[in-house]
Amino acid sequence: MSDTLVKRAAKSEALIGERPSLFLTGYEPVKGAPKFVRSAFGSRIVDVDGNEFVDLIMGYGSVILGHAHPAVQEKVYASISNGANPTLLSEVHVELAEKIQSLVPNAEKVTFLKTGSDAVSAAVRLARAITRRKYVLQWGMHGWHDWCCIESPGVLQDTKKYTIGFKYGDLDNLQNHFQCHPTDIACVVMMPYCEELPGLDYLEKIRGICTEFGALLIFDEVRSGFRSALGGAQQYFNVNADLVAFSKAMANGFPISALAGREIYMSHVLDLHLTITFYRDPIAMSAALETIKELERGETLRKLVDIGSSLRSHVGCVAEQCSIPVRLTGHEATPSIKFGFLDDDKNKRATRAFCSSMIGEGVLVHPLSHWFLSGSITNQDLSKVKRAISISMERVSSALQY
């Protein structure tokens, strides 16, 4: 069934035709990987060939409560009964804005878009409009728009030269960029963390540098938002950003993003000409509001940390038994496996072997991404994941001996 769908897609859908997999070229697991879904509920995915997996990709982090969460689905079905895009604004629009305003530090005003790329790009344009400056200092992955995806063909050279990457964790590197362009940096836009959590006061010191040079600090919380804490990285690390972009987990898989920030900046949003047909989508907003209400109850975020801590401990024990240098890094709710061989090629081979084995054991993971944990993971799921980790580490050890 899956192979038939791939062949059909190759003749009709451009992206699937070029890459019919979850994985980037070169990372295709040896035993293959599921491609088309039949059903998804809770922590489990069943593909069209009938194979079942514990899902640790969870819609690339967009699902936090679990697939088809009953409370969220109920609100969505009720919203659908009024039509998909009923022209006028809806009450849930205001309710969602007020909810984010009440939870996120410095979210004095909020506006909504559809994707994480939309929200971060709007923040960057807003920073340039307000400061009347050209340069953007960035770290992390922010989507596919021209300002950040500067290695892509089709992006103009004039666009590329105004986006400058900086080294995470290296304050001197960031300071040097400001010294080179002391009056022409509009903003620092960054993910608060990825594989590694920031060092002591690192984000606070970036805040100070931005203030010193009159640049805005933008947090891309598309991944970390509503996972690290209800108020995001600002709350978790006790640091204030000027603008913050959210998406992914905020609506449990439904497409919506938010840009939030201080009113002095957000009051200029209308100047950006954000003409978005699906801006007022009540379905995604209903999903987002119910998702955040579920997260407010507290059990889910605590559970993610507990599960992540348990997996981190298990990986450490198994790796030590197999004499493999590996650890789970990052926040407990989004751990990332990192092999520590001195040979980079060996690390890549280990990652591929591990990922292939995990999928073969019925656990869906991605070699280039965090493990996105969900509130729907059961004790049975956790046992299955730990067993898959143990088996997969042994296979990595055997694979690297040849």
Indicate whether 193 and 128 sit together in one domain: yes
Indicate whether 253 and 366 sit together in one domain: no
Interatomic CA distance for residues 55 and 372, integer angstroms: 8
Indicate whether 232 and 347 sit together in one domain: no
Q: What is the mean pLDDT of residues 350-367?
A: 91
**Cβ atoms of 284 and 256 closer than 8 Å:** yes
Q: What is the mean pLDDT of residues 342-349?
A: 90
Buried b (16+ CB within 10 A) or exposed e, 307-346: bbeebbebbeebbeebebebebbbbbbbbbbbbeeeeeee
**Cβ atoms of 186 and 133 closer than 8 Å:** yes
Indicate whether 316 and 375 sit together in one domain: yes
Indicate whether 197 and 266 sit together in one domain: yes
Q: Domain containing 386: what range?
A: 2-61+298-399
Interatomic CA distance for residues 327 and 161, integer angstroms: 37
| SS3 call for 170 | coil
Question: How many domains does the structure of the chain reveal?
Answer: 2
pLDDT of residue 253: 97
With both helix axes pointing from N to C terminus, report the angle between 282-296 and 91-103 in degrees, rounded to the nearest 10: 40
pLDDT of residue 20: 66
**Cβ atoms of 385 and 378 closer than 8 Å:** no
**Cβ atoms of 123 and 218 closer than 8 Å:** yes
Q: How confident is the model at residue 26 (pLDDT cuts 50, 70, 90)?
A: low
pLDDT of residue 309: 96
Amino acid, single-letter form, for residue 45? I
Q: What is the pLDDT of residues 186-242, one digit of tens each?
A: 999 999 999 889 988 999 999 999 999 999 999 999 999 999 999 999 999 999 999
| Stated pTM of the model | 0.93
User: Does the pLDDT value for residue 3 go beyond 90?
Assistant: no
Indicate whether 271 and 309 sit together in one domain: no
Indicate whether 103 and 17 sit together in one domain: no
Q: Which domain CATH number covers 82?
A: 3.40.640.10
Indicate whether 378 and 285 sit together in one domain: no
Indicate whether 288 and 340 sit together in one domain: no
pLDDT of residue 15: 75
What are the helix (H) ranges across 274-298?
282-296
φ, ψ of residue 125 to 5 degrees: the values are -65, -40
Q: What is the pLDDT of residues 262-276, one digit of tens each?
A: 999 999 998 888 878
Q: Which domain CATH number covers 308?
A: 3.90.1150.10
Structure tokens at 27: 């990372």
pLDDT of residue 273: 85
Indicate whether 305 and 291 sit together in one domain: no
pLDDT of residue 33: 75
Q: What is the mean pLDDT of residues 122-126?
A: 97
Q: What is the mean pLDDT of residues 12-41?
A: 72
pLDDT of residue 31: 57
Q: Which helix (H) or strand (E) holds 257?
A: strand 257-261
User: Does the pLDDT value for residue 29 go beyond 70?
Assistant: no
Domain end: 296, 324, 341, which one? 296
Indicate whether 76 and 156 sit together in one domain: yes
Instruction: Give the residue from 189, 168, 58, 57 showing the smallest Cα distance to 117.
Output: 189
Indicate whether 46 and 87 sit together in one domain: no
| SS3 call for 15 | helix
User: Does the pLDDT value for residue 284 go beyond 60?
Assistant: yes
Alpha-carbon distance values, 286 to 115, 260, 292 (Å): 16, 18, 10
Give Cβ neighbours of residue 385 (< 8 Å, ≥ 6 apart).
Answer: 54, 56, 311, 363
Cross-strand pairs, 71: none
pLDDT of residue 34: 82
Domain end: 264, 296, 328, which one? 296
Q: What is the pLDDT of residues 359-398, one digit of tens each?
A: 999 999 988 888 999 999 999 999 999 999 999 999 998 8
Alpha-carbon distance values, 12 to 23, 101, 263 (Å): 20, 43, 46
Give Cβ neighbours of residue 132 (< 8 Å, ≥ 6 apart).
Answer: none
| Residue, of 31 and 165, whose pLDDT is higher | 165
Query: Could you give the angle at the alpha carbon of 9 between the alpha carbons of 5 and 11, nearest 5°?
Result: 125
**Cβ atoms of 242 and 106 closer than 8 Å:** yes
> Whats the size of the chain, residue-wise?
402
Mean pLDDT of the chain: 92
**What percentage of the chain carries pLDDT values higher than 90?**
75
pLDDT of residue 245: 98
Q: What is the pLDDT of residues 69-87, one digit of tens each?
A: 999 999 999 999 999 999 9
Domain end: 272, 296, 320, which one? 296
User: Does the pLDDT value for residue 400 go beyond 90?
Assistant: no
Q: What is the pLDDT of residues 129-153, one digit of tens each?
A: 999 999 999 999 999 998 888 888 8
